[in-house]
Structure 1
């Protein structure tokens, strides 16, 4: 039908207004729907409606405004060379869950002949906060206590270290080196500091630490590291059984169509290269009806996947569902997903997955490892 109106895209108010102005200047009739006039500056979910016959022109304008994936984005992100997992950083807290985290790191290291660095930080802010002028009068008992804390932490860290060393010798594994490092300070800050110095290709962490019990799914340390680190992070559920990635057949890459998808998928390719896994690239759309913009984005992403991953088995889907978390839960069950990959971005699917009550229940029910990219 010639005058049929369709939803081109859904944006924040500012982006929708920008697109509306440009479309109208190019002679494309459009209007905004779901506009919050009272809180227009901060409102979200504004639909841009156009005539169906103007779709191809509108999509081209969106690319020119850099509001969507473009061919140029795809070319820039295409990896020039293979990226190997040469170094794996493993922060540990000596909880009962720490050996399982080491198991995951060792399993990956054996595939890539990676080096493993076990890292622990003990809290030493009491000493760090002492003014220099008071250093000679400071209570020696506190110093002795913290010295004992450091000594015990080092002993536990060496125990994990020798456990991995012995396994490497017993299994006659070559090409994998293991080391350990200890630091005093706040956990998240020290993990980020060692990350900058060590430059790992992958970090493996547990979903909660020894002091688990807060209302958030992830402990505050893990949450801070996810927010600040620039390295892929594998988050392991502290409740699930150990999963041998050799037995995982399906990965779900959950996309919200961020331009960083291209780099994330390139990294995903190399991290999963030694395994035989089918990649499911899925976007969960809460809006009803067809959305040409989402279809356009998935088309470009599908082209990139085909080029970047070669003959790897890839499935690309847009799933319309009222609640994204329900969609993720259903999809992981129906397609036997053994690993979820996602971008660590604020205010998107990541935030819903890890900090909402429903998402906590989902993660606790599935216990699926999460691979996060930045």
Structure 2
């Protein structure tokens, strides 16, 4: 079972580097995390696809140099330049055709609490690897975008009132413990437009909000969520749930969004909740922390 994130824990973070322009962004964000979290050890890792080695081995071996040596030097040069925190670190270089599989193996072997990966927009990459990682890893996953702010003052927790999403509030409390930041719960609802010709839209919205107030009250009581955490419920108004979450996050200047890997169905750890799955492939301005 994944260890709960808490600042009293000595966290182990693994940072997936890929020798692109995303690496300096990740390393500088990790410097920030070392200030606000209690991190015991960092593991900087890079996986070389095996099929890329075959055409290059002969060329490098003639000079007595392996591709692993070159990758190691390149990584170490970037780490030396951009990693400035004092937390001990280890560089791990692997060769495997399936990056998500080897990262999952390493996360288990080194008992990683959080896997830190890049969420790329203009830079190289897609969200496919991130989706696979969240599906396969026992660890929590932190996706860091190019524009991530180095702040932890405003944490947004979208919720469907499930037990899985309730765990995110405890995690959010740990995230803002040192910064004394604030947490906001968010529920996105929708009233089907085909009801409006038959019922008064204002009454429908009022009834929905009153129902959600009761729902929040029950949610707080059942999962012992602090009364000091405000809840916002918004009509998605033609947007998808994910779009509504992101628009609200940008509007409220959220520093990080915390979601559960699983939704309300909670069938199996192999299935990622649909909202979380869609968030994984979106380009956001704020980091996304996915909780197992």
What is the TM-score of this pair, normalised by structure 2? 0.75
8 Å Cα contact 1:84-1:112 kept in structure 2 = no
**Aligned CA distance change for structure 1 residues 142 and 302 (closer, same or farther; 3 Å):** farther
- 1:15 corresponds in structure 2 to none
2:290 paired with 1:372? yes
The correspondence for 1:157, drawn from 63, 72, 75, is 75
Q: Output the CA distance in 1 between the equivalents of 2:59 and 2:138.
A: 36
Give the CA RMSD over aligned residues.
3.3
Unaligned runs of 5+ residues in structure 2 are 193-203, 263-271
Please say if residues 15 and 116 of structure 2, whose CA atoms lie closer than 8 Å, have aligned partners that are also in contact: yes
> How far, CA to CA, are the matches of 1:190 and 1:321 in structure 2?
39
Post-superposition Cα deviations, 1:101-157, rounded to whole Å, max 9, x if no partner, equal 0111121123334121111111124789xxxxxxxxxx9738949x73212111122
* Aligned counterparts, 1:174-213, within 5 A: 176-185=87-96, 186-208=98-120, 212=124
Counterparts of 1:87-166 in structure 2, within 5 Å, are: 87-114=12-39, 115-125=41-51, 141=58, 144=61, 148-163=66-81
- Measured against aligned partners, the alpha-carbon deviations of 1:311-335 in whole angstroms (never above 9, x if no partner) come to 8x42112222332244324422332
Q: Which moved more, 1:264-273 or 1:94-103?
A: 264-273
* Residue 350 (1) aligns with residue 276 (2): yes
Aligned 8 A contact 1:85 1:202 in 2? no
Q: Which has the higher contact order (CA 8 A, sep 6+)?
A: 2
Residues 258-300 of structure 1, C-alpha deviations (whole Å, 9 max, x = no match) = 2212322222222332222211100101235345775544223
Distance 1:367 1:252, change over 3 A: same
Give the CA deviation at 1:188. Answer: 1.2
Sort the Cα spacing of 1:268 and 1:230 in 2 relative to 1 into closer, same or farther, 3 A.
farther
The yes-or-no answer on 1:252 pairing with 2:121 is no
**Structure with larger Rg:** 1
TM-aligned CA deviation for residue 97 of structure 1: 1.4
Q: Could you say if the C-alpha distance between residues 143 and 116 of structure 1 is closer, same or farther in structure 2, counting changes exceeding 3 Å?
A: same
Measured in 2, the distance between the counterparts of 1:267 and 1:295 equals: 23
Aligned residues between the structures:
260
What are structure 1's unaligned runs of at least 5 residues? 1-78, 129-138
8 Å CA contact 2:156–2:186 kept in 1: the answer is: yes
Counterparts in 2 of 1:351 and 1:102: CA distance versus 1, 3 Å: same
Q: Per the alignment, in what secondary structure is the counterpart of residue 163 of structure 2?
A: coil
Q: Is contact 2:156–2:185 with CA below 8 Å preserved after alignment?
A: yes
Per-residue deviation, 1:209: 9.4
1:119 and 1:209, CA in 2 relative to 1: closer, same or farther beyond 3 A? Answer: farther
**Matching of residue 285 in structure 1 with residue 189 in structure 2:** yes
Kindly state the Cα deviation for residue 90 of structure 1 after the two structures are TM-superposed.
Answer: 0.5
